[in-house]
Amino acid sequence: MNNFSPIIIIGDCVATGTDVLLPEITGNKECLATDIADESVATTMVKDVSKWFLKNNKSKVHVNDISGLANTLKLQKEKSLAWPSHIPECVNLAVAGETFQGMHKKIKEYLKSNTKPKQVLITCISSTHRCVVINHKSQKYVVKRDLNFLEKTQKIWPKVVYDQFVEKTKQQENYGEEYQKRKHQKSFIMLTKLLDKENIQYEFLMFRKYNAYLTEKRHDFTMFPNWYTDSSGNHMCSRKLIAQEEIASHIKDTVITT
């Protein structure tokens, strides 16, 4: 068992530095992170990321899926620039599309082979993130994804499992927003109860006002996304990159246990 006792970050793309490399990739310092769920935008982005990857990869690449490899490298490099990377002794387990059910599973898995963390920082999640537990052939799958990418190709779960997830997610969407809020809150409580049971100190970091319904015990960090988001809701990537160190500094001053 690993005896290292770090600060654990669990959350979604708000802690992964998503798209902070776009100015470098596109050559446009003023670029915006637009809706990549749009097919035309996504196609252009794939080409730009692939060109950036080939330009910066010093070795010859002999793979069929250049775009997949390029996107993986982009995500890794952006995560290395995100605010958790500026916090000492921090392990960043955040991923895009995360849910509180996903965080619950992640912490349970982490504790199986590691000592208890010093502290857990939980970020809020996007209102479009969905999670359904699918039981298939005596195995439980915690399947999660953003609604915007529900119909997109995925390589994480077996097709039969993912198809069930899509069907159940669509059914649950008919129940409305209040149902989704109750489900998110139930999952959030399940997560915090696990941390309480394990006697692990945790803090909830709210970057989106939408998540205020979850709990009154929170740290309000909504000023940071406001600083790098334009009037149309797009992230200004250069400003978002600059904000990462400022976010980390604020967290170290107001949240981190000493």
Q: Which of 31, 49, 80 is the last residue of a domain?
A: 80
d(CA 210, CA 23): 28
Same domain, 69 and 138: no
Same domain, 217 and 106: yes
Asked if 122 and 139 count as a contact pair (C-beta separation under 8 A), the reply is no
Q: Please give the full DSSP string across 139-202, using - where no structure is assigned.
A: EEEEEEEEGGGTTS--SSS-HHHHHHHHHHHHHHHTT-HHHHHHHHHHHHHHHHHHHHHTT--E
| Domain presence at residue 1 | no
User: What's the confidence (pLDDT) of residue 207?
Assistant: 98
Same domain, 28 and 64: yes
Same domain, 90 and 204: yes
| Domain presence at residue 55 | yes
User: What's the confidence (pLDDT) of residue 182?
Assistant: 97
Percent residues over pLDDT 70 in the chain: 93
| Domain presence at residue 2 | no
71-91 per-position pLDDT tens digit: 889 999 999 999 999 999 999
Same domain, 132 and 172: yes
Same domain, 74 and 89: no
Total number of domains in the chain:
2
Burial class (CB in 10 A: 0-12, 13-18, 19+), 34: middle
- Domain assignment of residue 71, given as a range: 21-80
Same domain, 160 and 51: no
Q: Which of 80, 99, 118 is the last residue of a domain?
A: 80
Name the band, by pLDDT with cuts 50, 70 and 90, for residue 59.
low
Beta bridge partners of 91: 8
The model's pTM: 0.92
Same domain, 113 and 218: yes
CATH number of 129's domain: 3.40.50
88-101 per-position pLDDT tens digit: 999 999 999 999 99
Using alpha carbons, list the distances in angstroms from residue 44 to 25, 35, 36, 128, 142.
12, 12, 9, 24, 32
Same domain, 56 and 104: no
